[in-house]
Amino acid sequence: MIIQKMHDMGIRSEHAYMAAMASIGCTVVAWLGSLKMEPGADKARADRWGIFVGEWAPTFFGLGLALSHYEQQDGTLRATVHEFRQQKAG
């Protein structure tokens, strides 16, 4: 039900995958930012910030997979890059 509602709202699998990749980048930024901007804090605090943000990525990847499966059943999944190249070449 939730996946169908997300799909109806216009959220597609590629959006969830992009959010997952962005959260991985944000993990590095949060870790480095905590190290550099909080001089009194220790490395463990920076690690906790990085882990906190890093925990979002698997959730977004999972949502991307669920949305992809729904799109395959719904018939709205776009062609893969390989299929697109075949169509373009043929």
For the chain, what are the domain ranges?
Answer: 11-89
**pTM assigned to the model:** 0.73
**pLDDT tens, residue by residue, 10-44:** 999 999 999 999 999 999 988 888 878 877 767 78
How does residue 89 score in pLDDT terms, banded at 50, 70 and 90?
A: confident
Angle CA(47)–CA(52)–CA(57) in degrees, nearest 5? 115
CA distance 69 to 16: 13
Q: Which residue has the tokens 């939730």?
A: 2
Tell me the chain's radius of gyration from C-alpha atoms.
18
